[in-house]
Chain A
Amino acid sequence: MLIYSLKRLALAVLIVSAAMFLLFTMIYLIPGDPASVALGPRATDAMREALLIKMGLDQPVWIQFWNFFTNAWQGNLGNEILSNRPVADVVMEQLPWTLALIAGGMVWSIALGIPLGCWTAVKRGGLADRAIGVLSIAVIAVPSFVVAIYALLIFAVSLRWLPAIGAGDPGNLGDQLLHLVLPSLAVGLGWVGYIARMVRASMLEVLEAPHIRTARAFGLTDRQITYRYALSIAILPTVTLLGVGIGQMLSSAVFAEIVFARPGVGKLVYDAILTRNYPLVSGAVLVTTALFIAINLIADLVVGYLDPRVRSRL
């Protein structure tokens, strides 16, 4: 398990490095020089020259990349343009809000999706199975920002059950959790459908396996068979799916943060793009990329933990 974890960690570092290279290439290929963007149209050539040297952009491209690369690994993503604060600080300030939102969406979609998937697999072909099947497809098909807007209109504006905007008073955890409900609903709803469908499909496959017949022939109860013998295998593809799905959840978090005027990385990137704050955009993108890779790493490690076959193969 240790060797497996180390291997996966090394691979993750490699992927983040590759992502950095891509990001650097993209920034480098964008027409126009960053100095004139930063200084505005009234800057003199001397000012531009000075900033270029300060930013290290007069160096050959491979040295620029090497500086970017080593600085990024040390947590130095440069300074943003508007307030001249370190990008890393700005992004890290916003990151917990986004993490809370994604965690909220994940937790409730897993808590609902997995039992629904099991239940519909066991009762396959029944009315409940078909109804939940149709509903799952429906919630998968609805874009998360539509859910966000309607959730806002219904639960915050019309019914006034939950707060509409913001993230809650600082230091007041209860208030913050209350503010988290509607955004997580919007981010997680489609995933309830995804997880339910995925778990149902793999449960149906596993329930046909010879070892399930053995378990039945040994007199284990239906509960034991469904939740211990079948679900422990059927859950594996879903864990991998969730790791990959974090990327999609990050993008729906952007919409949720904008609709609910919540702080967060999504909102940060959105505002940075509007103000052409390119260092901030690239820093935030790099951080979310690293986050995505880290969560995939965790998903792989969880699969390795749950499946002894994977553990011993690697």
Chain B
Amino acid sequence: MNVLEIRHLSVSFAAEGGSLQALKDVSIDVPEHCIVGVVGESGCGKSTLINSILRLLPDNGSIDAGSIHFEEQDLTQAGRPKMQDIRGQRISTVFQDPMDALNPVLSIADQMLHIQYRSGLGRKEKNARSLDMLRRVRIPDPESALKRYPHEFSGGMKQRIAIAMAMMMEPALLIADEPTTALDATLEVAIIKLMKDLQSHIGCSMLFISHHLGLIAELCDQVVVMYAGEVLERGTARQIFHNPWHPYTERLLDCDPGSQSSRMRHLPTIPGEIPDLKKRQEGCIFRSRCQFCEDICHAMPDEIQSNGHHVRCHRRSP
């Protein structure tokens, strides 16, 4: 049973000199109680994916095709009030930079109170609930923390508070947008462990977005590899990390500093750049940087699937 089912999603932005296709034919499943990781370089469409699910695309962005099924409804068709009911309640988000993610002039107590406005609880119960959540994310002295303001906390503490806020309404899906990228490496492990604990405690699913491959390998049940707004490969973490089918995934794994076993002067990179999304080329999107590129790659490869391992590459075609 999938909590979230994205099918053939295409999103474009109106830009100067024509429209820019940020997502093309993206299909992703997030099963119940599962953590699904999304990896890719910067600019691969990870943020657009989140904003599409939350329906918080900027004014110039539009969903052109496809569907986002969440709890028996298509979010692409949901109206504004419906989406407001879902956000924070059923789908919650932890953003990348905790430094500026909380309102600077409202106290932690007020912000946590406002999130619960749909709960129908009294003020006292809401405050008790906020206190409980702060305790669960291990904020020291939660009573006084409630009275304080965001600037009085360190980055790691702020991210803990943001996680407490996101988990407060016990959502069915938690979206984590690189939640540890802006933090010290020492905090990373603690924050990740905290999120995983809360996730299994609440029993929600998680869409975990990161470019940190080691983290994804450790945390996620399933992995989606994105490139230039397309899903190139998806499958279980085991399939992706131990038996990658797409050349891009292979090279991405080669580039992970954590996977280097011998000392070297330069870290390996993938030569070339992400193609111009305003002028999408026909055929395979990774063609221009692929060492196995052939004539057939000028045609769009079909999605091939076996045992839940999906890939778009001609080399895998029968």
Compute how far the CA of A209 lies from the CA of B95 in the bound complex, rounded to whole angstroms. 13
Size class of the contact patch on chain A: 20 to 34
Residue pair A228, B92 in contact (C-beta under 8 Å): no
Residue pair B56, A216 in contact (C-beta under 8 Å): yes
Of B97, B104, B118, which contacts A219 at CB under 8 A? B118
Residue pair B95, A232 in contact (C-beta under 8 Å): no
Residue pair A210, B88 in contact (C-beta under 8 Å): no
Stretch of B62-70, B79-87, B274-282 lying at the A interface = B79-87
Residue pair B93, A229 in contact (C-beta under 8 Å): no
Size class of the contact patch on chain B: 20 to 34
Q: Interface digits, A131-148 against B, CB 8 Å rule (1 contact, 0 not)?
A: 000000000000000000
Q: Which chain A residues border B114 with CB–CB below 8 Å?
A: 218, 220, 224, 228
B54 within 8 A of A: yes
Q: Interface digits, A224-236 against B, CB 8 Å rule (1 contact, 0 not)?
A: 1000110011000
B106 within 8 A of A: yes
Residue pair B105, A232 in contact (C-beta under 8 Å): yes
Residue pair B87, A219 in contact (C-beta under 8 Å): yes
Compute how far the CA of A162 lies from the CA of B106 in the bound complex, rounded to whole angstroms. 44
User: Which chain B residue has the least Cβ–Cβ distance from A229?
Assistant: B103
Q: Which chain B residues border A219 with CB–CB below 8 Å?
A: 84-89, 115, 118
The prevalent SS among residues of A at the interface is: helix
Residue pair B54, A209 in contact (C-beta under 8 Å): no
Q: Tell me which residues from 118 to 133 in chain B have a Cβ below 8 Å from any Cβ of chain A.
A: 118
Compute how far the CA of A216 lies from the CA of B115 in the bound complex, rounded to whole angstroms. 10
Compute how far the CA of A117 lies from the CA of B236 in the bound complex, rounded to whole angstroms. 51
Compute how far the CA of A209 lies from the CA of B118 in the bound complex, rounded to whole angstroms. 24
Q: Tell me which residues from 100 to 115 in chain B have a Cβ below 8 Å from any Cβ of chain A.
A: 100-107, 114-115
Of A216, A218, A229, A233, which contacts B165 at CB under 8 A? A218
Q: Which chain B residues border A215 with CB–CB below 8 Å?
A: 103
Stretch of A68-76, A165-173, A257-265, A305-313 lying at the B interface = A305-313
B152 within 8 A of A: yes
Residues of B within 8 A of A (CB): 54, 56, 84-89, 92-93, 95, 97, 100-107, 114-115, 117-118, 149, 151-152, 162, 165-166
Instruction: Name the 3 nearest CB pairs between A and B, nearest first.
Output: A219-B88, A218-B88, A219-B87
A-B pairs with beta carbons under 8 Å apart, 23 shown: A210-B97, A214-B101, A215-B103, A216-B54, A217-B54, A217-B87, A218-B88, A218-B115, A218-B166, A219-B85, A219-B89, A221-B84, A228-B114, A229-B103, A232-B103, A232-B105, A232-B106, A306-B105, A307-B104, A308-B104, A308-B107, A308-B149, A308-B151
